[in-house]
Structure 1
Amino acid sequence: MNYKLFNESLLDWYYEVRRDLPWRETSDPYKIWLSEVMLQQTQVKTVIPYYNKFIKKYPTLDSIANENSESLLKEWEGLGYYNRIRNFHEAVKEVQSTYQSEVPNQPETFFTLKGVGPYIGGAVQSIAFNHKIAAVDGNVLRVMTRLTEDSRDISKQKTISSIKAHIETFMPDDAGNFNQAMMELGATVCTPRAPKCITCPVQAHCESFKNNTVNLYPFKKKAKAKKELYFNVYLILNDQNEIYLYKETKDLLQGMYKFPKFDVDTNVETIEDKLHIELSQPQFLGEEKHIFTHKVWYMNIYVVHTTSTNDHFVPLNEVRELPMSVAMQKVYKYIDETI
């Protein structure tokens, strides 16, 4: 491949047709960093309203560093992958305290921050500071494997690292726009299904187009079937207009609030023993399904009454202010049926 001509064709196309996205209107490294954190494993159309909301409420790095984690989780609610905002919050607090609120423009320093991996690091350091570091996401892997008829498994880290290193051998000086152009090409033209090869700006450089093998790439080992889990979830109300909630203290949903949930075969007596309260007989309200990356929850939702109270009970009028996962929000909507 003539990489000089490839780069010219790609960048000319990008300058002409690139999408008008809010994070492309700024040179502020903090805002670019925030957008890339949000865009990890999340579609652009989903991210845009969250990004705009965050930038309006937290226009500077200091403003988000000084916020409490529970409020940030509430603002992030519904965007998923909550470790992203927890790690970002820790990282910007370190930037505030150690680097005088200036996002480091030295890659080796930036990569030491919480939550900054190869993709985030490459994207921010190239777009904000024009360092020649490739940002390799799923879009870029798809483009590169089709361009070169690369049949290696893209789910393997050694494949990703190898492709990243290869890209960095021919990246042009305009590194930030090059990375964005590669991602734009994968998102809008070199799509997973029905790619628009006929209008592709780098069609002349693509081996799989030439050999009519586009749909064979990229190769990815078939994922395991999602694990299915079945729960009963309880809306436990007392006579003081309060409802029982936990605050998750570990795992991916750390800091989020949830309603008590138990395996479907757990009886009421066992629940009473675990929660140290007396309960009425559960009343069935409905059922919900929630799909995670690697598992599926099937939830039967019940309302239960009690005369007990303890530190887990929260006034009903305060529940809307607490951060909850999307799965728990699906349960929360049944509250109106219980009061």
Structure 2
Amino acid sequence: MNYKSFNESLLSWYYEVRRDLPWRQTNDPYKIWLSEVMLQQTQVKTVIPYYNRFIDKYPTLDSIADESSENLLKEWEGLGYYNRIRNFHEAVKEVKSSYHSKVPDNLNEFLKLKGVGPYIGGAVQSIAFNHRVAAVDGNVLRVMTRLTEDDRDISKQKTITSIKEHIETFMPIFAGDFNQAMMELGATVCTPRIPKCVTCPVQSYCESFKNNTVNQYPFKKKSKAKKEYYYNIYLILNDNNEVYLYKETDDLLQGMYKFPKYDIDTSIENIEDKLNLTLSSLTEPIGEEKHVFTHKVWYMNIYVVYTKDKNDHFVPLSNVRDLPMSVAMQKVYKYIDETI
């Protein structure tokens, strides 16, 4: 392949049709970094309002470094993958304390920060500082495997590393624009199911288009079926118009608030012992909800129970909406408004 010509075709197309995204209107490494953290595992249309809200509230790296973890989790609520904001918060605090609030423009230094891996490293260092480092996400993997008819398993890290190294052999000096162009191509033209090959600006360089094998790439070993879990969720209310809550300790949802959640075969007596509460007897569930995570599915029966007890876990109902909660728990909370 004539990569010089390929690069020219790709960049010409990108400059003409690129989407007007808010993080493309800044050279601030902090804002570019934040956008890339948000965009991991999340669609652009979902990220845009979160990004705009964060930038309005936290316009500088220091402003987010100085915020409390709980408030940041609340702002992030609904975006999912909460380790992203926890790691980002730790990283920007490190930048403030160790790098005088300036995002390192050295890849090796940047990669030392919490939550910064090869993709984030490549994206921020190329877009913010124009370093010739590839940013290889799912879009780029799809483009490259189709271009070269690469049938290696893209779920394997060695495949991703190899493709990254290959891209870096022909990246032009406009590294940030090139990385964004590759991602834009994958997101808008070289799409997973119905690629728009007829309008592709680099169609003439694509081996899979030439051989009518586009839909065979990329190859990824099928993942295991999602595990299913069945829970009873309890809205425990006392006479003070308060509801029982406690913080998650699970790594993925750490710091988020949740209602008591138990396997469906856990008896109410066992729950009373665990929580040190005396509860009213159970009636029929007031609702059922399903929540799908990346690797698992929760099926939830929602119950309202009452107690005359009080302790530090009870929170006024009027305050609950100010606390960070996972989307699964937000689905449960709506039943308070509907039934009480």
TM category, shorter: over 0.9
| 2:200 paired residue number | 200
Post-superposition offset of 1:311: 1.1
Say yes or no: does 1:35 pair with 2:35.
yes
| 1:57 paired residue number | 57
Code of the residue aligned with 1:86 in structure 2: it is R
1:118-145 CA distance string (max 9 Å, x none): 0000000000000011000000000000
Give the Cα separation in 2 of the matches to 1:64 and 1:34.
10
| 2:248 paired residue number | 248
Code of the residue aligned with 2:267 in structure 1: it is N
Q: How high is the TM-score relative to the length of structure 2?
A: 0.99
Post-superposition offset of 1:319: 0.3
- Secondary structure at the residue paired with 2:286? strand
Give the Cα separation in 1 of the matches to 2:339 and 2:265.
23
Code of the residue aligned with 2:106 in structure 1: it is Q
Post-superposition offset of 1:216: 0.3
- Secondary structure at the residue paired with 2:306? strand
Code of the residue aligned with 1:290 in structure 2: it is H
1:275-323 CA distance string (max 9 Å, x none): 1000001232110000000000000000000001111111111100000
1:58-98 CA distance string (max 9 Å, x none): 00000000000000000000000000000000000000011
| 2:229 paired residue number | 229
1:245-285 CA distance string (max 9 Å, x none): 01013411000000001011111101101110000012321
| 2:257 paired residue number | 257
Give the Cα separation in 2 of the matches to 1:190 and 1:30.
29
Give the Cα separation in 1 of the matches to 2:141 and 2:303.
45
Give the Cα separation in 2 of the matches to 1:232 and 1:310.
22
After TM superposition, the structure 1 stretch with the greater mean CA deviation from structure 2, 22-31 or 249-258, is 249-258
Give the Cα separation in 1 of the matches to 2:64 and 2:249.
22
- Secondary structure at the residue paired with 1:224? coil
Code of the residue aligned with 1:115 in structure 2: it is G
Code of the residue aligned with 1:322 in structure 2: it is L
| 1:319 paired residue number | 320
Q: Structure 1: which 5+ runs fail to align? A: none
Give the Cα separation in 1 of the matches to 2:337 and 2:265.
26
Percent identity, aligned pairs only?
Answer: 82
Q: What pairs up with 1:15-164 in 2 under 5 angstroms?
A: 15-164=15-164
Give the Cα separation in 2 of the matches to 1:261 and 1:322.
18
Give the Cα separation in 1 of the matches to 2:25 and 2:271.
53
- Secondary structure at the residue paired with 2:166? helix
Give the Cα separation in 2 of the matches to 1:229 and 1:44.
30
Number of matched pairs:
339
Code of the residue aligned with 1:295 in structure 2: it is K
1:145-181 CA distance string (max 9 Å, x none): 0000000000000000000000000000000000000
Code of the residue aligned with 1:139 in structure 2: it is N
| 2:184 paired residue number | 184
| 2:276 paired residue number | 276
| 1:297 paired residue number | 298
Give the Cα separation in 2 of the matches to 1:83 and 1:281.
37
Q: Which runs of 4+ in 1 moved over 2 A?
A: none
Give the Cα separation in 1 of the matches to 2:166 and 2:308.
66
Give the Cα separation in 1 of the matches to 2:337 and 2:16.
51
Code of the residue aligned with 1:84 in structure 2: it is R
Say what the alpha-carbon RMSD is for the aligned residues. Answer: 0.6
- Secondary structure at the residue paired with 1:103? coil
Give the Cα separation in 1 of the matches to 2:10 and 2:185.
8
Q: Contact 1:303–1:338 at 8 Å: present in 2 too?
A: no
Post-superposition offset of 1:338: 3.7
Q: How high is the TM-score relative to the length of structure 1?
A: 0.99
Code of the residue aligned with 1:178 in structure 2: it is F
Give the Cα separation in 1 of the matches to 2:107 and 2:222.
34
